[in-house]
Amino acid sequence: MHEPKAEEREGLKGNEEKPVTTKSTSLKLTVEQVDIQSIKTNFLNSNTSAKLSGKESENYLPRTEAVFFGKYFFTDEKSRLPFVATIIVAISKEGKWDYSNNFENVVEFTTFSNQINPFNEVVQIGQSKKNLIEILGNEYESKESNLIYQDSIGDVACILFQNDTIQALKVGKYKTAQDVKPIIPKW
């Protein structure tokens, strides 16, 4: 395991935008790991959805395969947040998009809770920044209060921190790494 150098540790301080290194060869967090059917089944009564506009969806992959993009919002009555997770999907067939469809491909997954977190074995809300770097490595970019990891095939993980603790996680497929928007704290 690689111990970050002094200049790399400096990239973790504060909210400065400071690239540390570039792309890794493979990312341990990908949208292919998100089992949307299982999540939809387990949160049947705690969600809503919306169709994304062309402008909202222009940076996602697979753009050429998608008829349109939709977004699910998953809620939890006990949470102080308006939603605990969102999933953006590419719809690959014409016709009516409804909750029972199984022709969706996940292009972005965001969670603020371990309740809906397909990556719990690797990354958990509440985990320390130091532990995350031990698991995922030090090939990241620091942007606002986020660490952004990218691999060579378009997978990007964006992890939001507050006081060196993970508060939110976003994983997606984008045309370029610059297309990923940092998670904006809602507290």
Q: Quick check: helix, strand or coil at residue 117?
A: coil
Confidence band of 126 (pLDDT split at 50, 70, 90): very high
Q: What is the mean pLDDT of the chain?
A: 77
Residue whose structure tokens are 């947040």: 81
Q: Helix, strand, coil shares of the chain as percentages rounded to 5? A: 20, 30, 50
Listed by start position, the domains of the chain span 18-176
Say whether 85 sits in a helix, a strand or coil. strand
CB 147 within 8 A of CB 24: no
Say whether pLDDT at 13 is over 60.
Answer: no
What values do phi and psi take at 9, rounded to 5? Answer: -65, -35
pTM above 0.85, yes or no: no
pLDDT at residue 125 tops 90: yes
Gap between the Cα atoms of 128 and 124, Å rounded: 9
**Is the per-residue pLDDT at 142 higher than 50?**
yes
Q: Is residue 106 within 8 Å of residue 55, measured between CB atoms?
A: no
Residue 36 clears pLDDT 50, i.e. is over it: yes
- Residue with the bigger pLDDT between 2 and 177: it is 177
User: 111 near 39, Cβ under 8 Å?
Assistant: no
- 42-96 pLDDT, tens digit per residue, is 887 778 888 888 888 888 876 667 788 899 998 887 777 778 899 999 887 776 7
Q: Could you tell me the pLDDT band of residue 129, with boundaries at 50, 70 and 90? A: very high
pLDDT at 39 over 60: yes
